[in-house]
Every structure is written in structure tokens, then in C-alpha cells.
Amino acid sequence: MWIVFIGPPGAGKGTQCSRLADSLGVPHLSTGDMLRDTERDSPLGKVVASYIDVGRLAPDYLVMPIVTNRLAESDCQAGCLFDGFPRTVHQAELLSEFLMQRQRRIDAVLHLQVDPEVLLGRLLKRAVLQNRKDDNEETISARLEVYRTQTAPVLQYYRGQGNVLEIDGDQSADLVFHDILTGLESRK
Ligand code: AMP
């Protein structure tokens, strides 16, 4: 299974993705986590942090090798769940190309929809729990704007391929997960 999760920051992508990864037995690939894992004091880490800390997207020359190197690992050969990637139409095109060269394709795109009013509260709560530097009010609004202008068009790209499943992310985590499983089942 090759599945993409798309939703604004705070929509619950990380939570749902890791539940689905456990359930399907395929890896959870979070570009945000992989970028945050870059040593903050290294030259590369400093460049990465300069984007993350202000809520801007890291450039493709940093993101794409991280993704393609991870996809080359043995546990990713039967599929993987993408969390936070692709975040632009260009990244979606690069991913399609990468998969096509290996006779693979995205099976489903799960769009987690959440009321924008709910997002801010969730993100501020996460800031306290996870001590994320980019979960402050100013950076959150920059990230929501980046989502609206750069990531939401990715949905149009995948809608054109007919594989987007709309999921109501305003429900409890259990109900969201139930809807994800039901949606995926209906596509078999
Ligand atoms: P996330 O944990 O997915 O919310 O990502 C946190 C931050 O990492 C984002 O605000 C971006 O700065 C960066 N990031 C994560 N994924 C990507 C991506 N696919 N392309 C560019 N930047 C990314």
C-alpha cells in the first residue's frame, strides 16, 4: 500500500498515520520528523531549522534525497505511508515519477479535513506537550497559509487521478481511524 496523508497542520496526520502503519505493517514516513532529526548544530541542520522555525517549506534539494534514500531501504519495498509529503504539486510530480520508474503508484490519498478554528487550539496544545519550536501562534499562521497556498493544490493534483478519500478529521481519533479503514476497504 502506498498512501499519502494530506491535511493542514494539526489535522491529526501523525497520529492517524502511525495507527495505520501499525495496522497495515508498513512504515510511516514523516518528512517533518526526518527533517527535525537532522542534527540542529550541523551545517545542514542549521539550514533545515531556518525553514522549520519560521514555518516555511524546506527546499526540494533538501527534502527529496531524504525521501528517496528512505524509500530505497528494504522495509519500504512493499509500500509506505507518507505523512507531510508531498507538500507541493512539484513534490507530488517527483514522487509519481519515482514510483512510476519502479512500476508503483499511489493507491490512496487520505484528506483529513478539520475546521480551521479547531486547528489553532490543537496546535497550541501540542506546543506545550511536545515542545515544538514551530508551534507558536506566529509560525502556526505561517504554516496554515503555506498549507492553503502550496499544499491544498496537491489535492487537486490527486483528485485528477481519482484517488482522494475525504475523511472528517473533526471527530474523535477513534472515529477518524474507523473512517480511514472503512474508506480504504471500500477501494479494494
Ligand atoms: P510537519 O511535522 O509535517 O508539520 O513539518 C514541520 C516542518 O517541516 C514544516 O513546517 C516544514 O518546514 C518542514 N517540512 C516537512 N515536510 C516537508 C516537505 N515535504 N517539504 C518541505 N518542507 C517540509
Domain residue ranges of the chain, discontinuous segments joined by +: 2-183
187 against 53, higher pLDDT:
53
Q: Where does the pLDDT of residue 116 fall: very low under 50, low under 70, confident under 90, or very high at 90 and above?
A: confident
pLDDT attached to residue 79: 95
Q: pLDDT tens digit string along 21-47?
A: 999 999 999 999 999 999 888 999 999
Lookup: cell for 33:
520528523
Positions of E strands within the chain:
2-6, 28-30, 80-83, 108-113, 164-168
Fold of the CATH domain 2-183: Rossmann fold (3.40.50)
Using alpha carbons, select from 178, 153, 64, 167 the residue that is nearest to residue 109. Answer: 167
Q: Which residues are catalytic?
A: 13, 87, 126, 132, 143
Atom of ligand 1 nearest to the CA of 91: 19
C-alpha cell at 31: 518528512
Tell me the pLDDT tens digit for each residue of 71-113.
999 999 999 999 999 999 999 999 999 999 999 999 999 999 9
Percent of the chain predicted with pLDDT > 90:
82
The larger pLDDT score, comparing residue 133 to residue 57, is at 57
Q: What lines the ligand 1 site, CB under 6 Å?
A: 9, 31-32, 35, 51-52, 55-58, 63, 84-85, 87, 91, 134, 143
